[in-house]
A and B are shown apart, each in its own frame.
Chain A
Amino acid sequence: MTVFKTFWKVVNHYKGTIILYTVLLIVFGGMNMKSNNQMDFVDSKPDVFIVNKDVSNKITDNLISYMEKNSHIVDLQEKEEKIKDALFYRDVNYVIYIPENYGSLVLNGQNPKIEIESTGDYQASLAEMLLNRYLKIQNLEQMAYMEQNELINAINENLGHQASITSISSLDEVGLTNASNYFNFASYSILAVVILVIGLVLASFNELNIRKRTVTSPMPYQKYNFHLLLSSLLYAGCAWFLFCFLGICLLGKTVLSIRGIWYMLNALFFTVSALALALLISTLTKNKNAMNGIVNVVALGSAFLCGAFVPAEWLPNFVLKIAHILPAYWYINTNNCLKEIENLSFGTLKPILFNFFILILFTVGFILINNYLSRRKQRID
């Protein structure tokens, strides 16, 4: 028991590290949730300037009135230089040039060309969408109605149609998004806490002179290694429990559900793969200073490449392709799947079970490489 007890005494020495990564998870996990719970919309209208060369008629006025209703009309001098300056300084996003005789040409069944100038940004696109929508409907209706008032009524009626969208999903979307965000961020904390602490503790136990002392003691070396492995497993289990417990505290009933159990099971598979990776790293290096660097590369690298900090759908394809070689990718992929699956059944869970299988493969791979390197090192020693 002396090895087991001492393992925990050494872990206790690194409690600051554990607390740090736990606090990071609470702070950033919590921030993610807050941003998801509030859906604020800001009314955004493009700044539009209309240069009207046509004489006053109802067709042209209707177009101008539609644009006034849906955008912010800017008042400018109709001078080319002033317009160019306004576009350059983004005082206006979109300029519409209505040509002479526009209204009468439309009534004659023609399609007069409206010229535009644009800043090319998002607001300009919005203005262009509005104009295109109006013109498409006008072109459609002008074939059916030749009379001015009828045409205007038909255009306005058509513009007034709105699609009604009803969400039929029974999922608690906000809760599940929060859970996925929390468990995605937890991948960083799990990797850091498991690899760094186990790496540092095992670096102490495997320090050459301490190992020499152990080998000269009556404790069989296999028993010594077994106690270290058992302690590492228990530690990883505690880390997993801590992060799941925090998840329950922060997310409540979302995690205390069947879907929540899948989230936690996924975290367990990931923690075991992180433990196997930690054991491999501790075989590769006994240098405690190097351990910090390795953890930063592995944990931060995984978090950025696999979508723990930034949603995976925002990442470029080539980054996601590279991320396939990291266990965190499969773990995060499962979290994202769990957020979207409507009904949990064997069929819908297939991609998740496949991800679990990949995590097991990673774990077995790390263990096999570790065994090979350990035996090789023993021969060299």
Chain B
Amino acid sequence: MQKMIEVKHLTKYYKDFKAIDDLSFFVKEGEILGLLGPNGSGKSTTINCLLSLLHFKNGSIQILGREMKPESYDIKKQIGVVFQEVAVFEELNVYENIDYFCGLYIEDEETRKKYVEEAISLVGLERYRKFYPKQLSGGLLRRLNIACGIAHKPRLIFLDEPTVAVDPQSRNNILEGIEKLREKGATIVYTTHYMEEVEILCDRIIILDKGHIIAEGTATELKEHANIEEKITVEGLKLTKDQFENIRNLKNVDKVRFVENVLTITYKSGQNNISVLIEFLRNHNITYQSIFSERPTLNDVFLNLTGKELRD
């Protein structure tokens, strides 16, 4: 499969601050690559470098097999960008906005008309064609922002945190739209700090922290890499120091956290861990409100790798 993007040893400084540190990765045709990382990890800077919006000190960027430069208009023709900030004209309605941005790529009016209609239906804005941005809710505005970026049917799409600050309904709509784009064969680079979205959408994930890659692979591979089998959370309980120490010494237990009456235990392996824990609590007459077991998330992977939460 063709490599749509190939980045080698990319390094970017903001004055003395190293925002991207020797970054190398590739994106294959038709896949969705998730760039995951907390705020300030270098996701947006990476995207801006890929789009030639920022100069970088070292490294090379190839898109569609050719070096990406500010004047690479042939490459730009095949790229769609949805920035984190909504970029639309206040003075134009939904249709006119999409038509304008699509018009920067497609000159033929008939084709454009068709594409604009398709983009409107893809993001579910059929009822809002004549609405002005000021009349749209935050979620609808984000959908318009996406439609403006993808109406010209690009082969490669950059989506920079497209679901920030949107309502659940709009978020589902946006995610469904991205799924449809994938089905149509688009290659997508998706940056976010919402790990659930990455797990649902992305074929491959790159976790960034402080400008460099700390892990790379599919969601399953990353979780395996984190070496966590199970996580059990007990809410609404009180523990003495001795009881806490006894739990730490239970079979298969890896790490134990007890914060504000919430006990979190991670296990590296084993079966029936939850039964063992319930029995322990009953034997020591420890009451609690709820107990549940879950598979580790990407947040746990990030926590395991960096010692901090993704949303810190």
- Chain B CB count within 10 A is highest, among A208, A212, A213, for A213
* A210 on interface, CB distance cutoff 8 Å: yes
* Chain A, 1-43, CB within 8 A of any chain B CB: 1-2, 5-6, 9-10, 13-14
Whether the Cβ atoms of B81 and A6 lie closer than 8 Å is no
Q: Are B91 and A218 in contact (CB under 8 A)?
A: no
Asked whether B194 is an interface residue with its Cβ less than 8 Å from the other chain, the reply is: no
From the candidates B81, B86, B92, B149, name the one contacting A9 in the complex (CB within 8 A): B92
B85 touches A (CB below 8 Å): yes
- B87 near A212 (CB under 8 angstroms)? yes
Which of B71, B83, B92, B148 is within 8 Å of A212, CB to CB?
B83
Question: Measured between alpha carbons, how far is A31 from B149 in the docked complex, in Å?
Answer: 52
In the complex formed, the residue of A with least CB distance to B80 is A216
Collect the chain A residues with CB atoms within 8 Å of residue B217's CB. none
A218 near B105 (CB under 8 angstroms)?
Answer: yes
Residue A214 is within 8 A (CB to CB) of chain B in the complex: yes
Residues of B within 8 A of A13 (CB): 91-92
Is residue B19 contacting chain A, with contact meaning CB distance below 8 A?
Answer: no
> Is B69 part of the contact surface with A, judged by Cβ < 8 Å?
no
CB distance from A326 to the nearest CB of B (A): 30
Provide the B227-264 mask, 1 if CB < 8 A to any CB of A, else 0. Answer: 00000000000000000000000000000000000000
Can you name the residue of chain A whose Cβ is closest to the Cβ of B87? Answer: A209
Task: Please indicate which of the listed interface residues B70, B103, B149 has the most CB atoms of chain A within 10 Å of its own CB.
Answer: B103
Across-interface contacts of A207 in B (CB, < 8 A):
87
Tell me which residues from 13 to 56 in chain B have a Cβ below 8 Å from any Cβ of chain A: 51-53
B104 at the interface (CB under 8 A from A): yes
- Using a CB–CB cutoff of 8 Å, the interface residues on chain A facing chain B are 1-2, 5-6, 9-10, 13-14, 204, 207-210, 212-220
Q: Are B86 and A209 in contact, CB atoms less than 8 angstroms apart?
A: yes
**Residues of the A chain whose Cβ atoms lie less than 8 Å from the Cβ of B70:** 215
Known: A13-B91, A210-B89. A216 touches B71 (CB 8 A): no
- When distances are taken between beta carbons in the complex, the residues of chain B under 8 Å from A210 are 87-89
Cβ-defined contact, B71 with A220, below 8 A: yes
A212 touches B91 (CB 8 A): no
Least CB distance from A6 to B in Å reads 5
Name B53's contact: one of A1, A2, A14, A216 (CB within 8 Å): A216
9 additional A-B residue pairs with CB within 8 Å, beyond A213-B101, A216-B53: A2-B99, A6-B89, A204-B89, A209-B83, A215-B52, A216-B76, A216-B79, A219-B73, A219-B104
Interface residues of B in 70-127 (CB under 8 A from A): 70-71, 73-74, 76-77, 79, 81, 83, 85-92, 96, 99-101, 103-105, 107
Give the dominant DSSP class at B's interface. loop
Contact indicator B53/A213 (Cβ below 8 Å): no
| A73: min CB distance to chain B, Å | 71
Say yes or no: A10 contacts B76, CB within 8 Å: no
**Chain A min CB distance to B173 (Å):** 22
Known: A9-B92, A210-B89, A212-B83. A218 touches B77 (CB 8 A): yes
Q: How far does the alpha carbon of A1 sit from the alpha carbon of B100 in the complex, in Å?
A: 10
Q: B residues near A, CB below 8 A?
A: 51-53, 70-71, 73-74, 76-77, 79, 81, 83, 85-92, 96, 99-101, 103-105, 107, 148-149
Tell me, in angstroms, the Cα distance from A210 to B92 when the chains sit together. 13
The answer on a CB contact under 8 Å between B86 and A213 is no
Query: Chain B residues with Cβ under 8 A from A213's Cβ?
Result: 81, 83, 87, 101, 104, 148-149
Tell me whether A212 and B86 are in contact (CB under 8 A): no
Taking CB atoms, residues of chain A closer than 8 Å to B71 are 220
Contact of A6 among B52, B76, B96, B105 (CB under 8 A): B96
Closest partner residue, chain A, to B158 (CB atom): A216
Q: Could you say which of A5, A6, A216, A220 has the most chain B C-beta atoms within 10 Å of its C-beta?
A: A216
Chain B residue at minimum C-beta to C-beta distance from A219: B104
Residue of A nearest to B96 (CB): A9
Bound form: Cα–Cα A218–B72 in Å = 8
Q: When A and B form their complex, which 10 residue pairs have the shortest distance between CB atoms, in order from nearest?
A: A2-B103, A209-B87, A13-B91, A217-B104, A218-B73, A218-B77, A218-B76, A10-B91, A6-B100, A209-B85
Task: Specify which chain A residues have a CB less than 8 angstroms from the CB of B77 in the assembled complex.
Answer: 218
Q: What chain B residues lie within 8 Å of A220 (beta carbons)? A: 71, 73
Query: What separation, in Å, do the CA atoms of A216 and B53 have in the docked complex?
Result: 8
Report how far A297 CA is from B249 CA in the complex, Å: 76
Give the complex CA separation of A9 and B103 in angstroms: 14
Q: How far is the CA of A9 from the CA of B91 in the complex (A)?
A: 8
Query: Which residues of chain A come closer than 8 Å to B74, judged between CB atoms?
Result: 218
Chain A residue contacts of B52, Cβ below 8 A: 215-216
Is the pair B76, A217 in contact by a Cβ cutoff of 8 Å? yes
- Can you sample 14 A-B contacts with CB below 8 Å? A2-B100, A5-B103, A6-B96, A10-B89, A13-B91, A209-B83, A213-B81, A213-B104, A215-B70, A216-B53, A217-B101, A217-B104, A218-B74, A219-B104
CB distance from B146 to the nearest CB of A (A): 12
List of B residues within 8 angstroms of A204 by Cβ:
89-91
Task: Tell me, in angstroms, the Cα distance from A276 to B17 when the chains sit together.
Answer: 40
- List of A residues within 8 angstroms of B103 by Cβ: 1-2, 5-6
Bound CA–CA A10/B100 (angstroms): 11
A218 touches B104 (CB 8 A): yes
Q: Which B residues are CB-close (under 8 A) to A14?
A: 91
Q: Which residues does chain A contribute within 8 Å of B148, judged by CB atoms?
A: 213
